[in-house]
Copies of this chain bind each other. A is one copy, B any other.
């Protein structure tokens, strides 16, 4: 009801604010007898840490995750898995200045309207930092998928208007933007520097690829696999559009251009993005999320304070230029959660 839980069988509940004592996640419904150590989760969290690139601020130590329950002698037991990350003692004084100001493009205004109270430090619950808990949960989901040889891979398809020209999954982790194209990565680096200099920020597109997903996952009518995937990606703060397969382009194609013919060897094309009538067809699942630019910019913007009096805001200092590199692992985690959940749901009726 209050929206902090995702999934029906593989149930993930995140908690915690950006500048609170800690944040974490409970995974309830993980099958027993899977090998699991805190380090398995740490691996995914580390990937999320800043890459020393111009998109993101140089930050201190990586987050250390604690595994507090749900395993015994290195194996899952079927009971809830609790993961916790302590927040460093952060100086929240810088936020005091902004406590009465609604930052454009952020949730300050809407949280205040909804609850009549908000933890204004670092965005509180609406902070991108919450997604660390999702990435941690995604690491547990990976354990389930590994056993089934299902691979979920996310990468940057476009950043600041520059789109990749090739898809080399091997280079994704070799550049700060998680781009499958080193040339594109270099162009992005330059473009990002220019945007930073102009006091502005940039958006982009993340693509997620699922390989090895069996046919038959997804539930009719409302819990279609693509419906749940769309919700999963749209639940990430900065995402403004989600596409499956040919996506938006489907609106402009003819039927004969959009259908995937079927041959004894399988589908001749994959315009559907691996999902037909809401159910996986055994082909690769391909989907994309459009990410808006980070709203905190140096350029001065008009806004109002908590009493609706006009003021202006210019966010100075070191901050991210694009959420893209941080969002890639989050998209990957969310898609994993959906696939695992539907995998387990399917077992119940078999």
Of the residues B69, B104, B126, B277, contact of A22 by C-beta under 8 Å: B69
Please choose the segment from A50-58, A164-172, A224-232 that sits at the chain B interface, where 4 or more of its residues have CB less than 8 A away. Answer: A224-232
Compute how far the CA of A302 lies from the CA of B267 in the bound complex, rounded to whole angstroms.
10
Chain A 107-138 residues near chain B, CB threshold 8 A:
107, 109-111, 113-119, 124-126, 130
Q: Are B3 and A224 in contact (CB under 8 A)?
A: yes
Asked if A119 and B72 make an inter-chain contact with CB atoms under 8 angstroms apart, the answer reads yes
In the bound complex, residues from chain B placing their C-beta under 8 Å from that of A215 are 109-110, 113-114
Contact A111:B279 (CB < 8 A) given known A240-B245, A345-B1: yes
Contact A125-B304, Cβ < 8 Å, known A1-B348, A277-B237: no
Given A2-B29, A255-B299, verify A107-B278 contact (CB < 8 Å).
Answer: yes
List chain B residues, Cβ under 8 A from A20.
68-69
A302-B263, A308-B264 known; A254-B78 Cβ under 8 A: no
Q: Which residues of B contact A296 (CB under 8 A)?
A: 255
Secondary structure of the A side of the interface?
mixed
Q: Nearest Cβ distance between residue A345 and chain B, in whole angstroms?
A: 6
Interface string of A51-84 (1 = CB under 8 A from B): 0000000000000001111101001011111101
Provide the bound-state CA to CA distance between A310 and B292, in Å.
Answer: 45
A279 / chain B contacts, CB cutoff of 8 Å: 107, 110-111, 113-114
Query: Contact string, A230-251, partner B, CB cutoff 8 A, digits 1/0?
Result: 1111110100111111111111
